[in-house]
């Protein structure tokens, strides 16, 4: 387990306080807007007569589409990110797999994901996040 200290650097070489602040901004500011965008695109596709199974499928299609567009915008890569994660079945049919489905974009699940990526328990992650200073010290 990672020590509960801001002296730690992530595996990709970023100071943990900077990574935590970025993650906090994503959780508090970006995720709610991303979920609303997915919901908006879902509503755009859903018909009144659609059953729950169809609505669920359309929500996941909306999630995949919004994430593909966002990643394309951020990376300037026109190849859909979901196609980077294609699974092929025994008949040779390829299926795009999603980076995260809509239900995985809750604040709690994202905090758990970030904690795991930093090799922290969710409680230790929350403790460290809560102790972030208002300003980064150099």
Give pLDDT tens digits for 1-31: 445 566 777 787 788 889 999 999 999 999 9
Q: Per-residue pLDDT tens for 35-54?
A: 999 999 999 999 999 999 99
pLDDT of residue 87: 67
What does DSSP assign to residue 2? -
Element (H, E) at 95: strand 94-96
> 84 pLDDT band (50/70/90 cuts)?
confident
Least confident stretch, 12-26, 30-44, 83-97, 106-120: 83-97
This prediction's pTM: 0.80
pLDDT of residue 34: 95
Least confident stretch, 63-72, 81-90, 111-120: 81-90
6: alpha, beta or left? (left if phi > 0; alpha if psi -120 to 50)? alpha
């Amino acid at each position: 387990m990672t020590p509960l200290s801001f002296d730690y650097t992530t595996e990709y070489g970023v100071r943990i306080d900077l990574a935590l602040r970025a993650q906090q901004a994503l959780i508090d500011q970006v995720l709610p807007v991303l979920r609303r965008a997915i919901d908006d695109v879902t509503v755009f596709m859903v018909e009144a007569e659609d059953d729950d199974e169809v609505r669920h499928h359309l929500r996941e299609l909306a999630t995949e589409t919004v994430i593909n567009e966002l990643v394309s915008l951020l990376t300037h890569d026109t190849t859909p990110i979901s196609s980077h994660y294609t699974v092929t079945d025994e008949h040779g049919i390829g299926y795009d797999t999603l980076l995260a489905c809509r239900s995985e974009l809750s604040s709690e699940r994202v905090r758990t994901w970030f904690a795991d990526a930093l090799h922290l328990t969710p409680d230790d992650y929350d403790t460290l996040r809560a102790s972030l200073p208002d300003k980064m010290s150099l």
